[in-house]
Amino acid sequence: MLWRIAWRNLWRHRTRTLILSSVIAMTYGMTLFGMGVGDDSHQRMLREAVLMAGGDVLVHGDGYWATRGSDVVMESGSEVVRAVAGVEGVGRELPRVLINGLLSTSAATRPVFLQGVDPGAEDAWRNLSEDVTAGTFLRDPPRDPLVLGSRLAGRLEVELGGRVVLTASDPAGEVTRALFHVTGILETGNREMDELLAFTTVSGAQRAVAMEGALTQVGVLLTDGNGPEPVADRIRVALGARNGDLEVLTWREAVPEMVGFVELDDAFGYIYIVVIFVVVLFAITNTFLMAVMERVREFGLLAALGLRGDRIGGLILRETLLLTALAMGAGFVIGYSCHLAADHWGINLAMWGLDEVEISGVDVADMVIRSTINPAKWFAASVLVALASLGSALYPAWRAMRLAPAEAMRFFE
């Protein structure tokens, strides 16, 4: 009977109930959607960060990541690769020679970040072939091949088949020059990468800077279910005595600014949600308090008939529970619909003139926002909303419980 009374009481003031449930529903729905968009953005940023870093775990000569100096190399590159390959949790090893230098043609000279890579392994991870607009990504390469970013190629005014000269320092600090032939041009959509990046084979890069047999970096990709930290620890052990000459970093350690940004953004997100809900809670408390005050006489009648105070309080809580369930049902439909729409069509920030953003040194070029459901966070948010909504009715329920029947019955006399 109390449930029946509670349900019907909700609809005594239909407009008020609809407005209040709409507020809860919109707040809840937008919270879910906001979390979906936020999680997707963060995941995308972190994926970009892993790509930018070069893998889930990175192995370098000791001190390379801080200085990016051409003199910090791993002399026995193949031994390092073999040692890393035998570690549990390692899915793929990506040997690299990284060179900061200048590329010159007869038309121009531009700075370049040249990566000597294993074409098959690198392409399988980064899908670089998909970005190639002319030529191939180091497929059946001739001696000294070069794949250039499209903007870099434009600046150098070089086309497929053209020749460019690399000027860089070798590990001994001597300036060296090497000739490359342009075999591919790629366009990633990332302005910075397209302006700065170039790729060649590991051997081509080693020849260019007198690093035969040596590597600058081994990027490590993990098998599913492995976290970077334990694998990094196992790699350190596997490298044994060589460990002192090498540094092993997880991608989190390599780009701490991005990790910090995501954590900070998450924290601000939670604060924002809490602030919104505090406002909504006061609105609910106020509404239910009004509902109690205008029904004092009625609660007095129920008490006079023998309904105990705790059951009168329970009536208020039932009304809140029904309102919350109704509003959260609608809110979930709103939030989930927005999630599905964003996941399917995306929200293109380019419409507002945002082509690309750099966050903590990581370029995020894909400006289409999508949504990702993190079930645990959605569940936690739902529990929070339900508890907060019910909590907001505790004071009105307590007021109703404490009403003395004789006084309550006099209320409107």
Partner 1 sequence: MSSTEGMGLIRVSEVTKVYRQGALEVHALRGVNLTVADGEFTALAGPSGSGKTTLLNLIGVLDAPTTGTVQLNGQDVSGLNKGEAAEYRLDNVGFIFQAYNLVPVLTAYENAEFTLLLRGAGPKERREVVRPLLQRVGLGDMMDRKPHELSGGQQQRVAIVRALATHPRIVLADEPTANLDSANSDGLMDLMAELNEELGTTFLFSSHDPVVLERARRLVILRDGKVANPDADGD
Using CB under 8 A, list all residues that contact partner 1.
1, 4-5, 8-9, 12, 297-298, 301-310, 404-406, 409-410, 412-413
Place of tokens 């007198």: 210
CB of 16 vs partner 1, minimal distance in Å: 15
CB of 408 vs partner 1, minimal distance in Å: 9
CB of 304 vs partner 1, minimal distance in Å: 5
Q: What angle do CA 410, 411, 413 make, to 5 degrees?
A: 60
Q: Which is nearer to partner 1, 262 or 296 (CB)?
A: 296
For 215, other C-beta atoms within 10 Å of its C-beta total: 26
Find all residues with CB under 8 Å of 85, minimum gap 6, and list them: 93
CB of 21 vs partner 1, minimal distance in Å: 18
Strand partners, 112: 101
Alpha-carbon Rg for the chain in angstroms: 31
Q: Which is nearer to partner 1, 36 or 309 (CB)?
A: 309
Q: Which is nearer to partner 1, 37 or 409 (CB)?
A: 409
Quote the DSSP letter at residue 74: B
CB of 18 vs partner 1, minimal distance in Å: 17
3-state secondary structure of 277: helix
Q: Which is nearer to partner 1, 228 or 405 (CB)?
A: 405
CB of 307 vs partner 1, minimal distance in Å: 6
Q: Which is nearer to partner 1, 247 or 298 (CB)?
A: 298
Q: Which is nearer to partner 1, 212 or 413 (CB)?
A: 413
Strands (E), 105-203: 109-117, 132-135, 145-149, 163-169, 175-186, 197-201
16 vs 289: CA distance, rounded Å: 13
246 vs 240: CA distance, rounded Å: 10
Q: Which is nearer to partner 1, 9 or 176 (CB)?
A: 9
Q: For the packed helices 309-345 and 14-53, what is the interaxial angle rounded to 10 degrees? A: 50
CB of 309 vs partner 1, minimal distance in Å: 6
Cα 105 to the center of its chain, rounded Å = 40
Q: Which is nearer to partner 1, 221 or 302 (CB)?
A: 302
Kindly list the distances between the CA atom of residue 402 and the CA atoms of 131, 312, 313, 395, in Å, as whole numbers in the listed order: 71, 9, 9, 11
Q: Which is nearer to partner 1, 143 or 308 (CB)?
A: 308
CB of 9 vs partner 1, minimal distance in Å: 6
CB of 311 vs partner 1, minimal distance in Å: 8
Q: Which long-range contacts (CB under 8 A, 24 or more apart) does 2-10 make?
A: 2/311, 2/314, 2/315, 2/318, 3/318, 3/322, 5/315, 6/315, 6/318, 6/319, 6/321, 6/322, 7/322, 9/291, 9/315, 9/319, 10/319, 10/322, 10/323, 10/326
